[in-house]
Amino acid sequence: MSEATHITIRHQTGNYDLHVGASLLTELPKLLESIEASGPVGIITNNKVNALYGAILRAGLKAAGVVTRTILIPDGEEYKTLASAEQVISALIAQGMERSGTIITLGGGVTTDLGGFVASTLYRGVKLVHIPTTLLAMVDAAVGGKTGVNHPSGKNLIGSFYQPELVVIDVNTLASLDYRDRVSGYAEMLKMGAIRDHEYLDLLVAKMDELLNSSTGEVWIQAITRSCELKAEVVEADEKEADLRRILNFGHTLGHALETTLGYGEIRHGEAVILGMYGAGWLSNQIGSLSDIEWQEFAQILLRIPFSVALESIDPSVIEQVTRLDKKMANAQLNFVLLKKLGEAEIKANIPVVMIKLAVDVLKNVWKETQ
């Protein structure tokens, strides 16, 4: 059996532990003791994840004498809204949730973001534990303290910074993922290597086939742990996204615009990030510091990731306009994250409108050729 790993993530008001390993769901009662969780526990999850892992979680907590309530939410990015958050809060209050209680999110990014937002606002904040069950949530939504819901104008425009007390990553849950979900999570890990650690990027490329086609094993624990460590380094230095943390948005400016325009049901978040990283990489080479050699290397990495998306209907002007609604705007300027070199990012403002449109045109042409 692969050895579990453990890292401590520090933030402005304290720290929390993140555990990565196999069969950790059964260890949850003991882990909850470490954060002195008291009062009722509200489990926020969806029907699919509840059917897979809910009974295991509740049985362990019941044996430990913990009272639980389970709130089921619909599955899908389109349900990550203020209206859904209000419904969850109403259900928790009706079921006797208390200020001393703990909210556990059990699921993917939608559950993690929505549940974190609920925890940050219910009774002005209750204890929060994340148990991400998708690769994307493991390396992205569960780490860093961002919570949020979507608005018709864009993704994650409403939210808060609210740190969990504990994150438990059980790699056995990866066995239930479909291929597109693996690709989506892999894209976020690749982003961390591109902006922060060239050696880690090389590891992910060398292990691409294994990571995308296998469910468990030491390589998963190693890859997930390193991604979380890299993100933690950035978050510890800049928790509220005043400066350095903005580099985590590499690939997300165009990616979020594509998600908003194509529709959340048409493209997965990680797929949009792959496209966004390609566009940002191209801009890094055209108007930034990324060398031709490294741009070609990075482009080939992204093109190796097997996924298909139809971009024929995308209007570059519309995508450019949607980027202007992005939450990364500051003083009416769009902050675009580019690569100085592989493993190091930089932030540039005042990207010419024509260059953003050209980047979208490049995406359309390149992905048309790969269909």
Residue 333 has a pLDDT of 60
Architecture of domain 5-177: 3-Layer(aba) Sandwich (3.40)
Residue 77 has a pLDDT of 84
CATH 3.40.50.1970 residue ranges of the chain are 5-177
Distance of CA 226 to the CA centre of its chain: 15
Residue 369 has a pLDDT of 65
Tens digits of per-residue pLDDT, 195-227? 999 999 999 999 999 999 876 678 999 999 999
Residue 363 has a pLDDT of 93
Which residues of the chain are modeled with pLDDT < 50?
A: 1, 329, 331
Query: Given 3.30.420.40, 1.10.1050.10, 1.10.150.20, 1.20.1090.10, which CATH number is that of 180-214+217-370?
Result: 1.20.1090.10
**Number of alpha carbons in the 13 Å side-chain half-sphere of residue 265:** 4
The CB-based long-range contact list for 316-321 (8 Å cut-off, 24+ gap) reads 316/356, 316/357, 316/358, 316/360, 316/361, 316/364, 317/357, 318/261, 319/254, 319/257, 319/258, 319/261, 319/356, 319/357, 319/360, 320/257, 320/353, 320/356, 320/357, 320/360
Tens digits of per-residue pLDDT, 120-133? 999 999 999 999 99
The rounded distance, in Å, linking the Cα atoms of 181 and 129 is 22
Residue 331 has a pLDDT of 47
